[in-house]
Amino acid sequence: MLLSEAFEAHLLARGEMNEARRLALAQGRFEGARTAYPWDKEYAKTLMKKARELAPISRFKGANPYYRWAVRLVALTFAERIADVRRRLLPKSAVVSGR
């Protein structure tokens, strides 16, 4: 997270922050939050908060739309619980193919 914060500060200081870069930083923090959640829930919540401050969650790619909906309307914890149940109940091939 320190690297993305330093990069964000650099872009802001130079006046080079644009929408594409803002979304890329937010997307990285979103993915970091999802990855960190099983090991450090508080850190993951911090990352998700920072991601959502940079861009609307509806713009994040690579996550199930229902997952994004759950994060947006309820919380990261709720979305991760649903995702965990889905991972346990559905075989990996079904999750990847969207069935």
| Helix, strand, coil in percent for the chain, rounding step 5 | 80, 0, 20
pLDDT digit string, tens, across residues 18-59: 999 999 999 999 889 888 988 998 999 899 899 889 888 778
The pLDDT value recorded for residue 96 is 55
Residue 1 has pLDDT above 80, yes or no: no
DSSP label at residue 5: H
Cα→Cα distances 75→1, 23, 33, 41, 80, Å = 21, 20, 12, 12, 9
pLDDT digits (tens, 9 = 90+) for 77-86: 777 777 777 7
**In the prediction, which pLDDT does 98 show?**
53
Annotated domain spans of the chain: 2-97
pLDDT at residue 52, as a whole number:
85
Q: What's the predicted TM-score (pTM) here?
A: 0.71
